[in-house]
Amino acid sequence: MTQIRTLLSLSLCLLTSIASAQDADKTQAAKDQAEKLPTIASKVEKLQKIDGYMPLYWQASTGKLFMEIGRFNQEMLYQVSLPAGLGSNPVGLDRGQLGDSSVVTFERIGPKVLMTQPNYSYRAISSSEPERRAVKESFAQSVLWGFKVEAEEADRVLVDATSFFMRDAHRVVDRLRQAKQGRYRLDDSRSALYLPRTKGFPQNTEIETTLTFTTDEDPGRYIRQTTPTPTAVTLREHHSFVQLPDLKYTPRKLDPRAPSFGVLFYDYASPINEPVEKRWIQRHRLEKKDPHAAISEPIKPIVYYVDNGAPEPIRTALIEGASWWNQAFEAAGFRNAFQVKVLPADADPMDVRYNMINWVHRATRGWSYGGGIADPRTGLPGFGEIVTTVVQRTWSGARPADGYGIAIQEAVQTLVVQRLMELAADTQATSAVRANASAGLRRIRSLAAASATAHAAGTREDITRFLMRPAEPFKKTDPLATPAGEPIGSKGSK
């Protein structure tokens, strides 16, 4: 009888164990089913596809924009810009203004995709992988964004990129605050994707957003001049993902005898008897069809497009003036290498495949300036080179012989000093920008010491006082009001 009871107990225990195991299996199966991601095809079945380098999917019912990522661990260029600006010269948020350029890669880690910016300021130009890895791991990288995987299919994933594109990537809020125009914030309820300029191409994908910035405080006077309702400033910001060129391009060292913009970086694979600091010039990639000919057509010409919004006769003047560069290229051995055309009516000026000469309107008189998108690995302009060039060209030139020329030169020199002081004291600027601006001021002080003029002596004293009190807030001077009448040199002036 005891044996029967024991057998019954064992049988009951075994049945209970089997039932528990079956329940656990069912629970795990249900959990696995719940965690399994849908396919991309099923997720985007009813969405509008914008095909291109990085495929996009628009969900009109929710206002969401999904992005398909399949180019993992491949470097590409990420560019931010401002296609629709404020129209205020003192604030500087101009139409067509370029923002940050970054080389980025995408990496999937479980349910996340990280968009990472490698650190090209510190490199090891070497065939040794351990040597390159040692430098890479010695300096920080920047993870610019983390995306949640919403669907997957083969080696591709789908992410909800709405919040990534709908942020203030151009840092308009910071710019308005720095310009003393008020404390604005991004209002999501008055912001949306701008679909007419959201496009896909084989080598690049373009996304544009309409962003509205609001404030409860009194807006600054420049905002009041250019915005219909100053408490609500609506601009447009643009994002570009661009395929980078191959690495067959041969960089060229920057020669200080020919001032130009370039890229500054540190090469820790440099021989022990060479400096680690390297400077490469920024230049177009131009190759002859016939490398042996003295003058040859290029394999691919440099083409610049003049904004079709520029009025006549200014548009024609811009084309003729920019075309003069072709003479310099021909002297260098290239025929028809530099071409200037009007932007076609169906082309998008924010498409980074076009080299643009933009026409920008402002509420007051301003100045023209240059900028460009380049491969940051081989030729992105560095701020240090810009400061060096500006200082060299404004403070190292000969003193004019006439009084008018002297007045113009000193006014430009004063403007340079004031702007460098603003940058050196700007707590929102990076440490590299502040350091380069301070170095520029010291260079000007050294150059001014060689002059016996009262202007040079006063400049030296101003710079010395500023550098002795770096923590003291620097008060920006408002620009002078636009004078009445025609500009000097125009047909209407005398």
pLDDT for residue 21 is more than 90: no
What is the sign of the dihedral through the CA atoms of 348, 351, 357 and 359? positive
* pLDDT category of residue 309 using cuts at 50, 70 and 90: confident
The token duo for 375 is 């491969």
State mean pLDDT over 390-414.
78
Residue 349 confidence class, pLDDT cut points 50, 70, 90 = confident
Instruction: Please give the share of the chain, as a percent, with pLDDT higher than 90.
Output: 35
Query: Residue 210 is inside which H or E element, if any?
Result: strand 204-214
pLDDT at 5 over 70: no
Q: d(Cα 403, Cα 62) in Å, to the nearest integer?
A: 65
**Average pLDDT over the chain, rounded to an integer:** 81
CB-based contact 194:208 (threshold 8 Å): yes
Most confident of 56-60, 120-124, 268-272, 416-420: 56-60
Write down the pLDDT at residue 47.
95
pLDDT-derived band of residue 148, with 50, 70 and 90 as boundaries? very high
Which of the pair, 478 or 261, is modelled with greater confidence?
A: 261
**Segment 171-204, tens digit of pLDDT:** 999 989 988 999 999 999 999 999 999 999 888 9
Give the position of tokens 């430009």: 412
Least reliable range by pLDDT among 38-47, 249-258, 416-425: 249-258
Mapped onto helix, strand or coil, the DSSP state of residue 365 is coil
The predicted structure's pLDDT at residue 4: 52
**Reading across the β-sheet that carries 262-267, which strands appear in turn?**
122-123, 262-267, 277-281
> Residue 471 has what pLDDT?
46
Position 243 pLDDT exceeds 50: yes
Contact 332, 68 (CB under 8 A): no
